[in-house]
Amino acid sequence: MAATAQAPVADPASVEEQRGGGPPAGAGGAPGEGGRPPVEGAGAPAEGGQEPVCLIVLGMAGSGKTTFVQRLTAHLHSLKAPPYVINLDPAVHEVPFPANIDIRDTVNYKEVMKQYRLGPNGGIVTSLNLFATRFDQVMQFIEKKRQNHRYVLIDTPGQIEVFTWSASGTIITEALASSFPCVVIYVMDTSRSVNPVTFMSNMLYACSILYKTRLPFILAMNKTDIVDHSFAVEWMQDFESFQDALNQETSYVSNLTRSMSLVLDEFYSSLRVVGVSAVTGSGLDELLLQVQDGAAEFDRDYRPEYQRLRTQLMEAQSRKQQEQLERLRRDLGAVDVSGSPDVAMAAGPSDLIMNRGNPPEEEEEEQEDSDTDDIDHNGEAPGGGGGAL
Ligand SMILES: Nc1nc2c(ncn2[C@@H]2O[C@H](COP(=O)(O)OP(=O)(O)OP(=O)(O)O)[C@@H](O)[C@H]2O)c(=O)[nH]1
């Protein structure tokens, strides 16, 4: 492996194929193994024509997203329904589940920080932006594997705002939702929400994400092995009991929290809530039932909107290609390019990323010396294109 990695971005196409996404340690076994009954219909791989459901896992730093994805992956393997797993956190040290696509294979986060002179958070945002510009390739991989997977699990960066309030997060979410049913799973640290003010902050964040993503939403109250989530459910169902808990708070913020709880009443009424433990695996069967319900809601209420978005995108894309072709025609004068659509495709936005921080003359030398040398680059992109950026 080369020690000097200069190219911060590689091609997802060159790295996905060698990732088998095999079962995690201890994940095999018969359906329902480990004392949990299988969820009817929830575990089976996607059948002919059936689409995988994308589960976008969001949550505050430390809420347990990665552990949750790891546990759910193992659980689905035990139900003989291995999910397609994507890691979108470029800064994570270790991914404890078998990721089919790992942003770290494509974007060198440390190199991005160095080349763009960014701090850790800026590095994460820029890495995700770079990755988002190549997300069309990720979509092709998911399309290719759609028959084999009932679920696509997506772990997101620790800093929640990097995904939820960034352009790249929107691009990724809309790309997924334009092709597949999507459900957001908001992981909350229940043990850190026993204080009513903290609980309310978490709920406000969850509510803002619901409105931002415009997707079916499940609140996964995690870490129920530490504290049962029934207190939180009670607070959501019974306004008085939340007020009682608040009365013990004397700070100014408790007044604000009291007012906010009235605002959130409607949000609570339509919310899917499941108590889970990413450590013990409890609650995952119920979660899968809620996911089915969320996917049905997507089909009913959200799909028409995303299909309209998809048609718009495709029209815009084909208009852009036409414009590029026209421009080429004008530039080349008499040369006939009408039979070579590839030429028009050659100057896509991907090439801009390729060149940012990687001058063309350096690029050839560095491809041999890249940080991703240890990754098999022989894998072909679904469309036939491959190679590192
Ligand atoms: N007891 C208990 N601990 C948990 C559970 N889920 C996660 N943890 C612990 O919580 C800590 C954070 O978990 P992570 O999975 O890294 O959380 P994360 O949200 O991915 O963290 P970031 O990547 O920093 O956002 C780890 O120490 C986990 O072991 C749970 O269900 N029960």
Of the listed ranges 13-17, 198-202, 259-263, 297-301, the least confidently predicted one is 13-17
95 within ligand 1 shell (Cβ under 6 A): no
Length of the chain equals 389
Q: Residue 294's Cα: distance from chain center in Å?
A: 17
Distance CA(152)–CA(171), nearest Å, equals: 17
pLDDT at 373 over 70: no
Q: Ligand 1 centroid vs 316 CA: distance in angstroms?
A: 41
Q: How far is CA 347 from CA 85, 324, 331, 353, 356, in A?
A: 31, 8, 14, 11, 14
At 15-43, the pLDDT tens digits run 554 455 444 443 333 333 333 344 445 55
pTM: 0.75
- Provide mean pLDDT across the span 162-173: 89
283 within ligand 1 shell (Cβ under 6 A): no
Q: Ligand 1 centroid vs 189 CA: distance in angstroms?
A: 8
Structure tokens that stand for 141 in this block: 């991989």
Distance CA(24)–CA(22), nearest Å, equals: 6
ipTM of the complex: 0.97
Q: Ligand 1 centroid vs 222 CA: distance in angstroms?
A: 9
**Helix ranges, 165-229 (H):** 167-179, 196-213
Q: In the 8-state DSSP scheme, what is residue 249? A: -
Beta bridge partners of 245: none
